[in-house]
Structure 1
């Protein structure tokens, strides 16, 4: 299965209003309320505004 790697823009906040670290995340999907779910690993995930995401697919070498 192909996973989507995304980065968050600077000063991105999660759904609770906290800033989240910039870096590479795995895009998991969008929930019913319109938040994008992104995960660092199985234990660390964040809900963010989909507009705060940038696709990095073209930067990742296969």
Structure 2
């Protein structure tokens, strides 16, 4: 998956177990441990399970 706009699935939690607020997130990266880094804005970022993401635009693509 490449960087782009994503939404989160209902009930998604971050790596600390806290529920995430709804919004349009920017997918920054997926690290070597399997966590996706998403940011709501310049100050709010979370690590989440990539399975909790929904593609928001065609700017996100699955790389093979």
TM-score by length of 1: 0.84
Give 1 or 2: higher helix fraction.
1
Number of residues of Structure 1 aligned to a counterpart in Structure 2: 56
Runs of 4 or more above 2 Å deviation? none
Q: Which runs of 5+ in 1 are unaligned?
A: none
Relative contact order, higher structure (CA 8 A, sep 6+):
2
Q: Which runs of 5+ in 2 are unaligned?
A: 59-64
TM-score by length of 2: 0.81
